[in-house]
A and B are shown apart, each in its own frame.
Chain A
């Protein structure tokens, strides 16, 4: 079963991170990704550019309208994601809790992926 792990954190705090801290976190992410690749859990994953680069598209009066900024203004922002294969929720939680962001005051939302079966 596949789960999407959505990684949230405070962008402003990340921007203020020292060079050393930033490099340490980068290394930890590298190690973590290698680990879950080796265990076979890794399916996909990437960091995202900050929400200052986000564009939101909505429909207004039947027309697509774009606005600058993320979908919602929140204290913590979506900063990256993984898609992992896990036996059950406990296994997915165990993987999520090892994401380097978690130890740095961030949060990870674990969402089961709705499998639609083979597409024609």
Chain B
């Protein structure tokens, strides 16, 4: 493994252990940077150590003691910290799985702004640089740096604990962690602006974090559902945008481009998530199950729509939302007839909860187009265009509108 690759892959594990040993984000980050510098200098000539992770943790710890010693000449208190670190037994140096779990719960603490949670998670566990994160979220690097500094200052000043939440709070806090991971994924997957490579890196990071949660919380069903959902979405990455950068709808995608390995892994995880859920089915597991049904169809026409309608029905019970109802309405249109689906979409339109959501008029337009009611379809496409913000989606809607008015 190349040294740089090792640093990135193991960044989260090493930093999480150092934060536990040193008790401070900044001290840990500086120490790790020092250790990496030593490694880059020594390894090419002396050879890579047998256990590079242990070597980096140990070296970083010593570097932290040195740094604090140097500063201790000015402040007596720091010397005490340095001595405390030194006294921590060496057998505590080995990274334990809980380290990363503690770190992600700290980074995704609800007392931090969601943007800060995302940035901290990618910085510490993902090993992305501040510049890379800034680039991915289209924010100037100094703004992102300040966001990270503020978040770390709050962790220290307000004493946000570095620990896995107690059993009674765990489910709720895990939910918050999963929101962050899925947000990172969607940022990489849904948005089509910006460099493709950076976006792809975000999806990879989110999937890696999802794998970590599954590995560290094996008794919880929902992380499996989340990982399944991300893998199943990601399996279609090659097929969902054409060479011109335009969106290809699910039914028109070239299914040979779908990543079978990801689909198989995702489908198995979705099943495990549904089986392990007990009484309460999770929203990620249900969404993953829907994605798995789509993935299972060899052609769009072979899609098991009644199954999808049933799954959306279950999702609506667990998580009542007009967006879920809209998806169910479209599935009804596909399984029981377009008019029936359209009636449900019109009901939702009248309820007025989705007036700013471009996908409602977009779905309505699509159904009207299929029914040959072109004038009404055009009106709905125009409504959708007035609300859409994503460029690729705008292009797609515009193309459809031009097709039916010509």
Contacts and interface: CB of A to CB of B under 8 A. Distances in A.
Contacts of B159: 1, 87-89, 112
B111 interface: yes
Interface string B97-119: 00000000000010100000000
> Which of B158, B160, B169 has the most C-beta atoms of chain A within 10 angstroms of its own C-beta?
B158
Interface string B157-198: 111110001000100000000000000000000000000000
Interface string B251-285: 00000000000000000000000000000000000
A90 B158 contact: no
A93 B161 CA distance: 12
- Mostly, the B contact residues are loop
Q: How large is the interface on B (under 10, 10 to 19, 20 to 34, 35 or more residues)?
A: under 10
Contacts, number: 22
Contacts of A89: 109, 111, 158-161
Nearest to B166: A90
Interface in B55-69: none
A112 B161 contact: no
Nearest to B168: A94
Contacts of B169: 90
Interface string B46-80: 00000000000000000000000000000000000
A1 B160 CA distance: 11
A90 B157 contact: no
Contact of B165 (A1, A87, A90): A90
> Which of A87, A112, A114 has the most C-beta atoms of chain B within 10 angstroms of its own C-beta?
A112
Contacts of B160: 88-90
Interface in A1-21: 1
Contacts of A112: 157-159
A105 to B, nearest CB: 20
> Which of A1, A89, A110, A112 has the most C-beta atoms of chain B within 10 angstroms of its own C-beta?
A89
Nearest to B169: A90
22 contacts: A1-B159, A87-B159, A87-B161, A88-B159, A88-B160, A88-B161, A89-B109, A89-B111, A89-B158, A89-B159, A89-B160, A89-B161, A90-B160, A90-B161, A90-B165, A90-B169, A93-B111, A110-B158, A112-B157, A112-B158, A112-B159, A114-B157
Interface of A: 1, 87-90, 93, 110, 112, 114
Given A87-B161, A88-B161, 13 more contacts: A1-B159, A87-B159, A88-B160, A89-B109, A89-B158, A89-B160, A89-B161, A90-B160, A90-B169, A110-B158, A112-B157, A112-B158, A114-B157
